[in-house]
Every structure is written in C-alpha cells, then in structure tokens.
Amino acid sequence: MAEDITVKDAPVAGGTKKAGLLNRFDNPWLNWKFLSGAGILGFMFFLIFLGYQLWDTDLALSARAPLNLPPVGFSNWRGQEGIPEHPLGTENSGRDMLALWIVGTPRTIFVGVVAATVGMIAGIILGFMAGFLGGIFDDVIRLAVDIAITIPSLLVLIVIQAVLGRVDLLTMALLISLFSWATPTRYIRAQVLSMRESGYVQMARLSGVPVRDIMFKEIMPNLLPYLAASYIGNMQGAIISAVGLEVLGFGPQRIPSLGVAIFFSIEAGALFRNMWWWWGVPTVTLSIVFVALLLISLGLDEVANPRLRKAN
Amino acid sequence: MGGISLNYLVRRLLVFFLTLWVAATLIFIIPRLAPGDPIAAMVARLSYQAGFVENSNLIIEGWKERFGLNDPVYVQYVRYLTGLLRGDLGYSMARFPSTVSELVGRALPWTLGLVGVATVIFFVVGNLCGALLVWNKTPRMVRVMIPISMMFTSIPPLLAGLLLVYVFGFLFKWFPQTYSYGFGMTPALTLEFIANVIHHGFLPAMAIVLVTFGYWALGMRGMMITIEGEDYMILAQAKGLKPFYVLYRYMIRNAILPQMTALAVSIGTLVNGAVLVEVIFNYNGMGTLIFTALREQDFGLIQGTSFILITTSALAVLIIDLSYPLIDPRISLEGR
Amino acid sequence: MSEKRNGSDSRTVLKVEKLRIHYATPQGDVIAVSDISFNLYEGETLGLVGESGCGKSTTAYGILQLVQPPGYIVNGSIEVDGTEVLNLEEEELRKFRWTGLSLIPQGAMNSLNPTMRVKDQITDVIEAHEGKQKDREALRERIFELFSNVGLPNRIYNMYPHELSGGMKQRVCIAMGVALHPTVVIADEATSALDVVVQRIVAQTLIKVKDEIGVSLIVIGHDMGLLAQIVDRIAVMYAGKMVEIAPVENVYAKPLHPYTQLLIDSIPSIKERKPLKITEGITHDPRNPPSGCIFRLRCPFAWQHCAEVEPPQIMVEDLHEVACHLYDEQFHERRANALATIANS
C-alpha cells in the first residue's frame, strides 16, 4: 500500500517494529488461516473418533430410539423434553442424531476425499500433458476442459442417477469424480505453462535435464502449494455434489450420511414442524466443514502467493 | 475498439456447439448404457402406476412404439438430434400429452430471473468488497465489516437456503417459504405482482448471494494486490490523480478482466447450486421441475430439463466470452 | 547537448538535504539512501548515476514521495521552489504532484494503464489538476501539441498502449511528464529498456522538450556515455551515498573520487581495446555499512583515517563537490601520490 511515511511519523525505531512484523511470516505454512482450518477439521475427527469409542453407533439405524425427540434442554411440538440418552435428539424413524452425526460425517467427507483424489490425479496427468507437451495434446485437453467446465455436473449426475437409482457411497464418489477433473486440469495447465516459461525451467531445459526430471524435480515442488489448494477446492466441489445428490434422494438410505439426513428431514417436513435439530445437525456440521476447508485453501493460497501474505 | 477477432470467435462458437452436442449425446447414451432396459422399466412402472396391470406387455410395446424405442439405436440417435435442432424435446411421460417444451417454457424464466439477479448482485457486491479491502482509502469500519460479512462464504447454497428459510421464513415469517409468487395471484405486469415476486425471490437469491460473493471478494482482493504492484499504479500516484478515480479507472478497471473469465468458468457451479436452492424453496423453476420429474420417474422430462439447463449455461458462458474482448482492449488484436 | 551552463548563482528549484531512506527487512533495516544532499538549479539537467542498487532510483522516488513499503523516509528535507514537500498534507501533496514534481518512468515497460487510451491517460492528469476541461476541442489541440513536442504522430491519440512501440510509449510518458509544465521533472531510467538507436532519439527528445518548456530535469541512468551528452552536471552515488557531484566535463576530464575514476574507466571505448576492469560491485552488507568512508573496502587509496572519519562533502570548485579525504588539504601529499598512480596506470 502506497502510504508515504514521512519524517513526522517514522522514527528510526519504526524500522525494527516492522522487521518484527515481517518475521512472523517467515514460515508461510504457519499462517493462522491454514492452521485454524486444519485445527477445526482435526478436532472434528477427534470427536468422531471419541464418538466411535464411547457411543453406540448402531443407534444411527432406524427404529433404535424413540421418535422425534428434541435435543437435551429443548422440547418438541408435542411438549416432549429431550433426554440425556439422546443428547442431540432423534428423528422420525427413530435414529439417534448423535450416532447419525458420528457415522454420517466421516461418510460425507469420504465421498469428498475419494472424488477429489481421483479427479486430482486425472487433473495432474492431463494438466501436465497439456501444459508441458503442448501441441495437439494441449488443443484437445483444453477443448475438453472448456466443455466439461461449462456443463453443470449436477445435471448429468442426475441423469445418471435417474437411471441407476440409489447407489452406494463409493459408486457415488466415482461418479462425481467423472466431473471433478476439469477444474484441476485447467488450473494445473495454467501453472505449468507459466512455470515452463520461467527462467529456471528454461535453464534446466537448455542444460539437457530430461523432461521427466524437469517435471518432478523442478516444477512439481514449486507447484505443491497450488496443488494442495486445488485439491481442497476439488474436495469442496465433490462434497457439494454429493450432498446435492443426496438431498435429491440418491443417497444410500440404511446408514445415512449427512446429505441423506437432510433429504429425510425435508421429506418429512421437519422445517415446518420446527424439528430444527434434524436438518440442523447435518447442516451446521457441513457448514463447519466447508468453512474449515475454505480457511485451509486460503492459507494455502498465501503459501503459494507471497504477495497475499504481505498485504495482510 | 477493434471488435472480436475471427480466431477467438470461431473457437468460442466451437466450444459452444461442442458442449451442446456432448451434453445431448450423454443424455441420449446414459440410459442406454445401463444394464437391463431402464426405459422399458420406467414405462412399465408408469403404466403400473396408471393402474393398467393387465396386458402390461402390450402397453409397454405400445409406449415403445410411440417413443420409437424399437428402432436401431443410431436411428433413434439421429431422430433425437434432429428433434433437438427443431426444438422438439419430446413428451413428458408422466404428464402426457404435455410436451417437455411447454413445461420447460413455464419454468425457465423463473430460473433465469432468480439466477440472473443473484449473479448480478454477488458479482457487483463481491468485486466491490474485494476492491475496498485493498484500497488504502477505505474507512476502517468498512474494512472490518467486509470480512465479517463474508463468514458464510463456501457454504453450499443449499444449506444456506435451509438456514434462511428456517430463520426468516419459518421463525420470523418475514418472507414466504415457497414458490415464486403468492398463492392465487395471476402473473401480470402490475406493481403488486412484481413486489410479490421480489418478496418471494429474496430468500432464494440471498441463499446464492450470501455464500458466493465472498469468493468474488477474495478473488478481487488478489487481483487488486497484483495490480497494486504494477508500474502504472506508481505513475498514477505520481500524477496526483484523485484517489477514487485511481480506484475505479486504474485498479478496478484492470482487475475486473480476470474476474469476468472467472465468472464464465463458475457458471456451471452456479447452476448446480441454483437447482438445489429451488428445491429447498420449492421455487417453480427448472430445479424444482427436475426434482418433480425425478419423483415421477419422468425420464423424458429429466432429459429435456437437463439439456435446456445445460444449453442455457453454455449460452451464458458464450455471452460472457464474447463480451470479454469488448472490455479488454488487448484481446481483440491478439486474437486469443 | 544543452547549451546553457548554470552557475550556483542561478535560482535553486530543488533542494534536497540529509535525505535518508530505509527498507525494513526481517534482519534489520537496509540503508538505501544515506543522508544525501544536493541542489538542482533552474533550467539545469542533473544526471544521477551509479551501479545497480546504489540507491539512485530510491532517491528519485523519495523526492517524489513515492517510496513503496517496506521502504520509508527516515529523515531529510525536500524543498521545491521553497515548499517543503515532506510537510504537505495528503490533499496538498496530491495537488502538488505533477505540477511541482513529475516523473518520466520507464515507459517501455508497464507504466501506461493497459485499459486506457493514450488521450485519456493524458487527459486525466490535466483534469486532475486543472479541473474538468469543457472545451474538448482545445484539450485535443493541447494534446496534439504535446505529441508534436515529443515527435509523436497524431494518430496515436485514440490508441491503447499495447498498440505502440517501446519508443512511442516512452515518448507518451515524456509528453505526459511535461503536460503541466512542472518545476522539476525526474526521468527514471527513461531510456534503459530501449535499443541503442531509439535510446538516442528518445534522449534527444527529452532534452529538446526540456529546453522548449523550460523545466529542470533529473536524469537517472547507468549509461555514462549517453548521460555525458545530455546532462549539465553529474551526481555519482555509491551504496546510498553521494560521492561526487560535478559539471559533466569535470567528471570525464578529471574525476576526483576514486569510485568516479573507476566508473569512468569502465566506459568501453570503440577506439581502443583495453581489458575490462573487473570489479565486484558493492561488497558490504547494506544493513551494516562500514565505519568511516563507505567506499574504503574497495578503494585502492584507503588508509586508517578513512575507517575512522566519514568524509564530508568537500567543495573543490564552484559546483564541484567530492566526499573523499584525499581532497582535504591536510592530506595533500597522499593526493599527489594517488594522482601519480593514476597517471601511471
């Protein structure tokens, strides 16, 4: 920022104060956004782990608990009070919301991880091919990316699922991954292109370093923060798609994930019966996951782009 | 302004038509790739629901004949594509003899209106917020408020919709919970009706805007920071231009160009979100139409709605791509 | 070459005193400009030279109040026509800019806004200081006149920067720089990124415009040969210090400071081939400058006194100052020896 510091307000001591401020950013991975995002997710996994140890996860199946109980400290429209046996309440087919949370949260994240990983691997391969080999590879891949990005993936997924009906989580994750390669490919291609033109890669090429070594020893390490940020973005996209499909009714229904719980609650009109805990537990959980992922990717952005760091 | 170079135009149009072709082909092939005969199964289910249990075989055959399912696949494919070219999307199976085009024609304007308005709002507000985060004359209050207002960023619109409809629709009852206009009203260009539509559209639009504008603010912030380091910014400062003029003519004007590209890329995601928001609010647009079609196992309607929504997205992308050279003077000459 | 020669009796338009600029880094402040003082006289062209990183551009940006963080001005005084620039309030400073001090940047680079037409970029600076121009026709004539001053064709009026060649962009920058007839114009490496032929033409344009419009000019560069032809005086900087400031013919004929001698020696000549003097550039840590004379680590004539006392600026004749103990009268024997060594080499 172009604030001129004049004689009046810049004593020599100001210099050391500034130096201290800059010092804090010496290790780019130690920024609060990245750490707090990772911390939130870590804490959530810790709670889930505890839940598996301490809570009866079979309660997530239907008809294991009284129906429609509110969380402890609240009462439902029939005047029933919440009971400590079901601290987060129950829904209308007798599932315990706490057990559902323990079981459903990792299942939802699982879909995100699988779809994002498959999409990312494809993205890295295609992105490097397009950016590094160029020519006809680049033309074809660019065209495919342009087309794939334009098409709203949910609509094609709906068509597929309309044919297949309900599927298990792994299948759903793989279906989603069919549409999660385009964004990373586009991103990686652009990064590889700009790095290919950079001085140190040109230097390596001129001095006869094999293409493979240039890719993995010169470009890859510099690309890591970008890849990580892109992976997180991909995970967000995959979870959004999965939750979307589940809310439309395509999720596995015996052991629900968070999106399926929302689907059930909407079906049962939970919104208008004021059973806020039913859709609220999965909604708030997912919101926290998304905010945590956003914080992580913002942190990674700052790792990749020092300018953003300085501007804080 | 030099206009759009031929190379650029041809490439954009190629992408547009290829997108339509790929979408149409996917929608055609997917049901035929599935094991068994899903169309027959659906027809069967349909006829079962209609109560005709006896002679169901004959009925299935009848339906198949009617929809031309007994012809070789390539004949079906060609007939399907030529049908699309003529704007013929076939019949709705559940609401026969309503055509898909009729149903889509009723739903599409609502979706366009909702998504269009939401897009304008989040794009303008988001970019403005991002620019103000970087500008050195931004009041401290504003600089603190913006990041706070961005805390919903990245939450899926669907979930934001749930929260909004519960809090402002159900608890406070400030806004209606469903549909695009009041029950019993007839669409007309009266002030009352328009106010009613805005009242109904407010929450669904907010569900999209609230969770989206933060991304644009962050993107804009990054662009502004890059531009701040450009040589021409130092010259702008040296020239003693007025700060506000520098903000919009030097900074925003240059930072907005990549944001336009980003908008084109994000249209697909935007439509994904809008479909689900419509379902939450039971808003009578394309999202709800496709949801209903899923319920009714109305495969023809699912196909038609998807195709039209994909076409609309592709068209939006094409419009943005073609307007881009008009706002970036460098593009028209270089032809890329 | 400019015909005018100005003595110190001319009016002083820019007076820089004890200007000190630091860059904050995690390991401590880098001293970019260290207590520089000099005057610029009316109608004069002053060259500011030195190797990369010596602080010549930072000095210019300091005078213009454009030092970008983490850089900041520690102390000093900058007077333009009697106005203390460092005391100006923000809005006063904005109005003062371009009318008091203007900048000709490296226009061949990225100094023009890529999304604005040439005419709009000149118009905006005029309107920022003289208000909205109602008479568009007169405004256009005025811009055309600026174009003809710098030898630009009128057809570029409606063009965008990317449609211009490097030399043309540089001329646009010159036209813009003098549009408001400022008191002092600072040209920062204005010819550096251009090829040799264009470089000459742009430099000549610069001097022609300067004489026509009657401004005072500071030219920053590292091409001693080119500067010799266009400036009246040269100020030589080394590691943030000004080591010598002298009329241009003095600098080439009898450079006094050992560093200036080194610089003059390094100008390649096409008439005779001589081995290039390899010098290693600034060697000390800029956060921890050596005691006494800044140049003593590389100076062939340094002795104990140089490490103990910082040399003051010694006025050897009118307009010629040098910061070296050799020119202190009490060391005249050493000076004689040194000059003999140079003569022999």
Out of C25, C70, C86, closest to residue A6 by CB:
C86
Q: What global pTM score does this model have?
A: 0.86
Identify the top-confidence range among A28-32, A140-144, A190-194: A140-144
Question: For residue C112, what pLDDT is reported?
Answer: 93
Those of residues 306-335 in B touching chain C at CB distance below 8 A are 328-330, 333
C95 touches chain B (CB under 8 A): yes
Name the residue among C203, C251, C207 with its Cα closest to residue C49: C251
Question: For residue B112, what pLDDT is reported?
Answer: 95
Q: Which residues of C touch A10 (CB under 8 A)?
A: 72-74
The answer, yes or no, to whether residue B68 has pLDDT greater than 90, is: no
Q: In chain A, pLDDT over 70 holds for what percent of residues? A: 89
pLDDT tens, residue by residue, C318-344 = 889 999 998 888 888 888 888 787 777
Report CB contact under 8 Å: A10, C73. Answer: yes
The answer, yes or no, to whether residue C103 has pLDDT greater than 80, is: yes
A15 touches chain C (CB under 8 A): yes
Q: In chain C, pLDDT over 70 holds for what percent of residues? A: 91
User: H or E segment at C310?
Assistant: none
Out of A156, A244, A247, closest to residue B26 by CB:
A156
Q: What is the mean pLDDT of residues B259-276?
A: 93
Question: For residue A209, what pLDDT is reported?
Answer: 81
Q: In chain B, pLDDT over 70 holds for what percent of residues? A: 86
- State how far residue C316 is from chain A, nearest Cα, in angstroms: 32
Question: For residue B66, what pLDDT is reported?
Answer: 66
Q: How confident is the model at residue B1 (pLDDT cuts 50, 70, 90)?
A: very low
The answer, yes or no, to whether residue A23 has pLDDT greater than 60, is: no
The answer, yes or no, to whether residue A224 has pLDDT greater than 90, is: no
User: H or E segment at A63?
Assistant: none
Name the residue among B329, B261, B291, B304 with its Cα closest to residue B89: B304
Indicate the range of A138-152, C191-205, C299-313 predicted with least confidence: C191-205
The pair of three-digit structure tokens given for residue B232, joined into one six-digit string: 């021409």
Report CB contact under 8 Å: A10, C72. Answer: yes
Question: For residue B37, what pLDDT is reported?
Answer: 59
B54 touches chain C (CB under 8 A): no
What's the 3-state SS for B240-292? CCCHHHHHHHHHHHHHHHHHHHHHHHHHHHHHHHHHHHHHHHCCCCHHHHHHH
How far apart (Å, rounded) are the C-alpha atoms in residues A158 and A137? Answer: 30
Q: How confident is the model at residue C138 (pLDDT cuts 50, 70, 90)?
A: very high
Q: What is the mean pLDDT of residues A88-106?
A: 88
Q: How confident is the model at residue C11 (pLDDT cuts 50, 70, 90)?
A: confident
Q: What is the mean pLDDT of residues B100-106?
A: 91
Half-sphere exposure for B243 (CA within 13 Å, toward CB): 14
Q: How confident is the model at residue C225 (pLDDT cuts 50, 70, 90)?
A: confident
Write the DSSP assignment of C178-230 as a string of letters.
Answer: TTT--SEEEEESTTTTS-HHHHHHHHHHHHHHHHHHT-EEEEE-S-HHHHHHH
How far apart (Å, rounded) are the C-alpha atoms in residues C69 and A307? Answer: 13
pLDDT tens, residue by residue, B142-160 = 999 998 898 888 899 999 9
Report CB contact under 8 Å: A155, B225. Answer: no
Phi-psi region of C308 (alpha: psi -120 to 50; beta: other; left: phi over 0): alpha
Q: Which residues of A touch B22 (CB under 8 A)?
A: 147, 151
Q: What is the mean pLDDT of residues B16-21?
A: 95
* Residue B216 contacts residue B259 (beta carbons within 8 Å): yes
Q: In what order do the strands lie in the sheet with C30-41?
A: C30-41, C12-23, C71-80, C83-84
How far apart (Å, rounded) are the C-alpha atoms in residues A232 and A297? Answer: 6
Indicate the range of A264-278, B70-84, C187-201, C270-284 predicted with least confidence: C270-284
Residue type, B207: A
Question: For residue A59, what pLDDT is reported?
Answer: 81
C265 touches chain A (CB under 8 A): no
Average pLDDT, chain C: 86
Those of residues 25-54 in A touching chain C at CB distance below 8 A are 26
pLDDT tens, residue by residue, A111-136 = 999 999 999 999 999 998 898 888 89
- State how far residue C65 is from chain A, nearest Cα, in angstroms: 6
Question: For residue B48, what pLDDT is reported?
Answer: 58
pLDDT tens, residue by residue, B304-329 = 999 999 999 999 999 998 888 788 87
What is the ipTM for the molecules in this complex?
0.87
Indicate the range of A46-55, C178-187, C248-257 predicted with least confidence: C248-257
Q: What is the mean pLDDT of residues B183-190?
A: 80
The answer, yes or no, to whether residue B190 has pLDDT greater than 90, is: no
pLDDT tens, residue by residue, B202-254 = 999 999 999 999 999 999 999 999 898 889 999 999 999 999 999 999 999 99
How far apart (Å, rounded) are the C-alpha atoms in residues C64 and C85? Answer: 9
Report which of residues A310 and B20 the model is more confident about: B20
Q: What is the mean pLDDT of residues C47-69?
A: 89
How far apart (Å, rounded) are the C-alpha atoms in residues B130 and B214? Answer: 8
Give the burial string for C251-262 (b: 16+ CB within 10 Å, else e): bbeebbbbbbbb
Indicate the range of A137-151, A169-183, B87-101 predicted with least confidence: B87-101
* Burial degree of B239 (CB within 10 A; 0-12, 13-18, 19+): buried
Q: How confident is the model at residue A288 (pLDDT cuts 50, 70, 90)?
A: very high
Q: What is the mean pLDDT of residues C47-59?
A: 88
Question: For residue C301, what pLDDT is reported?
Answer: 86
Q: In chain B, pLDDT over 90 holds for what percent of residues? A: 50
Q: How many CB atoms lie within 10 A of CB B299?
A: 25
Bridge partners of C84, per DSSP, are C79
Question: For residue A181, what pLDDT is reported?
Answer: 94
- State how far residue B94 is from chain A, nearest Cα, in angstroms: 15
Question: For residue A20, what pLDDT is reported?
Answer: 44
Out of A1, A183, A301, closest to residue B136 by CB:
A1
Chains in contact with B via at least 3 Cβ–Cβ pairs below 8 Å: A, C
Alpha-helical regions (H) of A167-219: 169-177, 182-196, 199-206, 211-213
Name the residue among C26, C25, C21 with its Cα closest to residue C58: C21
Alpha-helical regions (H) of chain B: 6-33, 38-49, 56-67, 73-85, 100-134, 140-149, 157-164, 191-228, 231-238, 243-245, 253-281, 286-295, 299-327, 329-334
The pair of three-digit structure tokens given for residue A260, joined into one six-digit string: 């399926």
Question: For residue C3, what pLDDT is reported?
Answer: 40
Report CB contact under 8 Å: B222, A156. Answer: no
Identify the top-confidence range among A196-200, B68-72, C133-137: C133-137
The CATH superfamily of B102-297 is MetI-like (1.10.3720.10)
Question: For residue A240, what pLDDT is reported?
Answer: 93
Q: What is the mean pLDDT of residues C157-180?
A: 91
The answer, yes or no, to whether residue B83 has pLDDT greater than 80, is: yes
How far apart (Å, rounded) are the C-alpha atoms in residues C139 and C155? Answer: 16
Question: For residue A24, what pLDDT is reported?
Answer: 47
Q: How confident is the model at residue A310 (pLDDT cuts 50, 70, 90)?
A: low
- State how far residue B87 is from chain A, nearest Cα, in angstroms: 19
How far apart (Å, rounded) are the C-alpha atoms in residues B289 and B108? Answer: 9
Q: Which residues of B touch A312 (CB under 8 A)?
A: none
Question: For residue C338, what pLDDT is reported?
Answer: 80
Identify the top-confidence range among A305-309, B125-129, C10-14: B125-129
pLDDT tens, residue by residue, B208-218 = 999 999 999 99
Report CB contact under 8 Å: A7, C26. Answer: no
Q: Where are the domains positioned within chain B?
A: 102-297
A156 touches chain B (CB under 8 A): yes
Bridge partners of C48, per DSSP, are C220, C235
Report CB contact under 8 Å: B231, C93. Answer: no
